[in-house]
Amino acid sequence: MLAFRSFFQLLFHGTLPEAVLTELNLAPRAAGRPAAPATPAPPPVRTADGALQMLAILQRDARLVDFIMEDIAPYSDDQVGAAVRTLHDQCRESLTRYLTLQPVIDGVEGTPTRAPSADPSVVKFIGNVPAGAPSGGTLRHKGWRAVKVDLPAVNPRQDSTVVAPAEIEIE
Amino acid sequence: MEPKYVIGIDLGTTNSALAYAEIRPDAGPLDTPEVRLLAISQVVNPGEVRDEDLLPSFLYLPGQADFPPGSLALPWDPQPGFVVGRLAQKRGVENAGRLVSSAKSWLSHAGVDRTASILPFHAPDGVPKLSPVEASRRYLEHFQRAWDAKMADAPFFLQQVLVTVPASFDAVARELTERAAEEAGYKGVTLIEEPQAAFYAWIDRHPDWRERVQVGDLILVVDIGGGTTDFTLIAVTERGGELALDRVAVGEHILLGGDNIDLALARLVADRLSERGTRIDTFQLQALWSNCRIAKEKLLDPAAASKEVPVTILGKGTGLVGGTIKASLQLADVERVLLDGFFPAVPNTEMPQRARRVGLQEMGLPYAADAAVTRHLARFLRQQAASVEHGAVRRGPSGLACPTHVLFNGGVLNAPMVRERLLEVLDSWLGEEGFPAVQPLTGEDLMHAVSRGAAYYGNARRGRGVRIRGGVPRTYYVGIESAMPSVPGFAAPLKALTVVPFGMEEGTEQRIPNREFGLVVGEPAEFRFFASAVRKNDQPGDLIEDVGDELDELPPMGVELPAAGDGAGVVAVSFETVVTETGMLQLWCVARDGRRWKLEFNVRERVAA
């Protein structure tokens, strides 16, 4: 399920794709350097390209789109489970190949933890949050951060809206 | 300019790899250089180049509609006309008619013209074809370019390059491998036998190896790769007060390996499915084949405790869950297929079945008729009994060659179950001959041992470390028709003249005494050519009266003497044999006045005949 969660986070929340695409559009291997202090205006990013590319990869390697778009209601848990095991292995394999994911806070869920940042995109406070920014609390979700993105360059001559090509077999 | 690195290329049936080590002339004799693997850039998906340790030995010949334009670009070639490596392997599953696979097995297949464009073997009309030599050339070219793209300060053609071949490769397959390397632009490539390379890799990892073996020991190397099984015996001897190593025997070429095991498992699962009424097509069998390989590895992993691994074939089309076919592979299945089918416990007198059954994967290749590796091993060790003493081979009372140590190599032998079974079988054979149990030599990293070993050997050739003495692993003969009145319907009886003795060493040459042939100038002359891995005592010039089962016929060798101006019609020549420093076998015709002509293998005409 890790794969799904990260994927949707990537697809629907702003945080991950932005990180992904900044890295993609910037000169390669800018990693390790602290966030550039005085970047005037970030270059315009075409969010769709990166998202579609990732989606196409997960479809190609793990057939994720087929799975999500299929009506699975008529099938038994057993049947769904059998398909998902294979799919999960492959999703995870491709996700970890192209993205290096690490917890935002490398702690134990359920234990008292200090917040490393007051940035709401990094740490989200939940529950009885006081008026001022709290310094910490009980860690409920470690979060995920893509510390490295290693996606292949997009072929400009390829129709990026095709997530999966149609297949025609010659018998 | 002196080479900076030794490069060892393991040109495998299903996977290839490149290892390299720095040449340091000033290093001490025990200071062995570190051997590293080159990450090979290859197209893994359309538009995606990645570095991987292994280069799958697959070549795909794309058509117009196969890949988007520009998506096959490599760092060194913006528009290659073919695909080598991971993507070729993947796409080949979807369209087998354009996939060249197992080129190495074809390279050693005497039943076809190996220089003719015959691959892909089942290509539909209109698909361009390649020869096995050319396919091998392209893999070697890929390594060269991948190296040059990464190691710009040490151009490939300046380095010392070794390419591995199975010990069971005969002189023709070796020559064709060398030709592929030459056509790829390699300068002065050296061939090294894979089991020897595996043993060098072991030595490389055990600098104290001299304390682990002693004079009189006999080391059996069992190398089971994806497509072939290869046996070698190495004897520990003494020379000048130092331990020395002699390669004393090599096995026959056996097309049997891990791919066969995985296919057998896939067939088992497919049979079980069809009993339940679910039929799978060939495309699904391919998917099942690779899923079974993964499942087998999971089940055989000693760290994993699972007794059963689900094997699923996802539905075709967009309906994924609905079309999913569920099956499972159990540890008991794998045990049964491996231990009863491929590694049965057999007595050491049980020989492999000779009868040809229908080929497994590709009709064209002469796959081993008997899948039992243990029977092939029994035959190999028995054959040493049949031959006359050569080197220090320890034997039991029945004549069986009895190794003291065994070294395993190749992916199949990663499985402890298989290693244990082989040890068990060997121990029972040795027990019957009155010897204690065999000692396993533990190698690690079986996938890469061969290329690492080759790189080590490259340094050994420069005096850095021990070198196994081997020489030519076969005896070679030229056929001579007896001078007898011809009888209609019967070929003239054939005798065989020994031209290359077993173990003839690299960098030596030999004149064959007592025989002269009159060759007509300006006309091609052809000699039938034979080899034997079993007859080891025949000396140059010896004549074998009866060309029986012990001799295998190779493609003929031919020569044409240019017509000289003086009009002399017949030149009396004798044979001279040369084994080059790089281990290549050459046969020359030498006239009395010293003029020489080299004989060339005639791969083509044999097939036409």
Q: Which residue of B has its CA nearest to A158?
A: B68
pTM for this one? Answer: 0.82
For B380, the token pair is 């190999």
**Chain-wide mean pLDDT for chain B?**
84
Task: Write the residue in B48, B318, B324 that is nearest to A82 by C-beta.
Answer: B324
- Which one has a higher pLDDT value, B453 or B343? B343
As to burial, measured by CB atoms within 10 angstroms (0-12 exposed, 13-18 middle, 19+ buried), residue B5 is: buried
Q: Which residues of A touch B319 (CB under 8 A)?
A: 66, 70
Which fold would CATH assign to domain B258-342? Actin; Chain A, domain 4 (3.90.640)
Cβ–Cβ gap A82/B49 under 8 Å:
no
Mean pLDDT throughout B445-465? 75
Q: Does A87 touch chain B (CB under 8 A)?
A: yes
If you classify domain B5-192 with CATH, what class do you get?
Answer: alpha beta
Tens-digit pLDDT profile for residues B192-207: 888 988 998 888 888 8
What's the sign of the alpha-carbon dihedral B273, B275, B276, B282? Answer: positive
Residue B310 near residue B327 (C-beta atoms within 8 A): yes
Spatial separation of the C-alpha atoms in residues B559 and B573, rounded to whole Å: 12
Helix (H, G, I), strand (E, B) or coil at B560: strand
What ipTM score was computed for the predicted complex, to two decimals?
0.70
Tens-digit pLDDT profile for residues A61-75: 999 999 999 999 999
pLDDT confidence band for A157 (50 / 70 / 90): confident
Would you kindly state where each structural domain of chain B is located, as residue ranges?
5-192, 258-342, 475-608
Tens-digit pLDDT profile for residues B490-546: 666 778 888 888 888 878 888 887 778 777 777 777 888 888 888 888 888 888 887
Q: Is the peptide bond before B501 cis (omega within 30 degrees of 0)?
A: no
Spatial separation of the C-alpha atoms in residues B213 and B203, rounded to whole Å: 11
Cβ–Cβ gap A70/B318 under 8 Å:
yes
Q: Does A96 touch chain B (CB under 8 A)?
A: no
Give the pLDDT confidence score for residue B75 in this predicted structure: 93
For A88, the token pair is 């999960």
Q: Does A63 touch chain B (CB under 8 A)?
A: yes
